[in-house]
Chains A and B, each alone.
Chain A
Amino acid sequence: MNVRQRLQQLMRELFDDDALEARDDLTAEEVPEWDSLAHVRLIVAVEKEFGVRFASTEVGEIDSVGALVRRIEEKLAA
């Protein structure tokens, strides 16, 4: 599975939505369960899944799936 597919699996689990599609322009505004608390849970779940670490400042800047995928890929490539 690529980064997006693994992220989609995480998001489906976390937001309890088996139909969720992790497309680039998906934001918290479209996912009822994606509130501020769920956002930090998503970020830490991503950290564990991909073996990466986000700084506090990054967490608030990630406002879409596309932004999150890019950050993960940058960290994996570093």
Chain B
Amino acid sequence: MSAPRRPVATPGGGLEGLAPATRAVVDAVLADWPGHRGFLVKSFRDRDERTAAAAERVARLVARLTDGALAAHVSGYRWMCEMVLEEEVHFLRSGRYRHSSFAEVAALVYGNAEEMGAYMRGLLLSQVLWINHARALEFYLREYLASLPPGYRHLEVGPGHGLLLHLAAGDPACRAATAWDVSEASLSLTRDSLRRLGGGQEVAIERRSVLEDLGEGEFFDSVVISEVCEHLEQAPAALRALRGVMSRGGRIYVNVPVNSPAVDHIYLLETPEAARAMVESAGFRLESTLVAPAAGYTEERARKLRTAISVVMIARAG
């Protein structure tokens, strides 16, 4: 689905003053897809200095990951955005995500290597380009990682492109880092990303589901589950299981979007309050929450129009 045409850049064009690595990503996208300018202008217009600095840090990592293959990533990003628009139409018409079963989505999306590759490449660029993703990353760096105690043991579930995991593994306060995912293909992507990014400590990467019997024990002081809950049939059960492997007083970083249709999103939360209730009901005490609307909407308008909002929560295991 294509959007109405928009003019190619005018001088400045609402995207002036971007830092170099961010500029490189934006320019690569607009060279291939000038019609995306309006969306990007809205996504960049209200960023504060901290968010812009975090996006630039991530854009430098993206440059290392793409390593001269930015065009393929732009193609994946465009595919992902157009997929989201298709799903948005379905969501607005029906009030529901298109799919609700993991098996259905696994067969349709996760088993399709070509689509998954495009999707992962697109998601990587969105960390720089989408305001809600950039704000979530800034929150992760400033509010989460910076406040973890020395010697913390870290777990990330569903690390995907590996950016968050790389940042934790490179944190001098992190004693050990582990990553779990149910998909070997996804873990392979994470391994490749960590290798390309370099630095940091060795990460234990394991094929494992949070819904299997994890046992009980104080294995982790820090757990990250970012943009994963919406892919699960039983997101609350996954959070409860994670609570069981955390140290008392350990902290969890949960990033889950509400009203955010995508072909593989199956667990629908409709308000930030529903997201907070899900985390609290799993046995966590919320410490801080970031409500980050997508696409440049204010929170008030995002709630009114039911557009996507990233809800990012830091909570403590009781």
- Which A residues lie at the B interface, using CB under 8 A? 14, 16, 27-29, 32-37, 39-41, 43-45, 47, 56, 59-60, 62-64
Contact = CB atoms under 8 A, between A and B. Distances in A.
Contacts of A40: 1, 85, 88-89, 92
Contact of B38 (A35, A44, A59, A64): A35
Interface stretch (B2-10, B48-56, B264-272): B2-10
A63 B5 contact: yes
Interface of B: 1-7, 35-36, 38-39, 41-42, 81, 85-86, 88-89, 92-93, 295, 301, 305, 307
B273 to A, nearest CB: 23
A36 B305 contact: no
Nearest to B305: A41
B257 to A, nearest CB: 14
A34 B4 contact: yes
Interface of A, helix, strand, loop or mixed by DSSP: helix
5 contacts: A28-B4, A29-B7, A36-B38, A41-B92, A44-B92
The 7 closest A-B pairs by CB, nearest first: A36-B3, A60-B2, A28-B4, A44-B92, A35-B38, A35-B39, A63-B4
Contact of A27 (B1, B4, B35): B4
B305 A29 contact: no
Contacts of A63: 4-5
A36 B85 contact: yes
A33, A34, A36, A63: which has the most chain B beta carbons within 10 Å?
A36
A22 to B, nearest CB: 15
A69 to B, nearest CB: 15
A43 to B, nearest CB: 7
A28 B89 contact: no
A44 B89 contact: yes
A48 to B, nearest CB: 8
A33 B295 CA distance: 10
Contacts of B35: 36
A44 B92 CA distance: 7
B4 A62 contact: yes
B92 A36 contact: no
Contacts of B295: 35, 37
A37 B1 contact: no
A15 B6 CA distance: 17
B86 to A, nearest CB: 7
Contacts of A47: 93
Contacts of A60: 1-4
Contacts of A62: 4
Contact of B88 (A29, A33, A41): A41
B3, B36, B92: which has the most chain A beta carbons within 10 Å?
B3
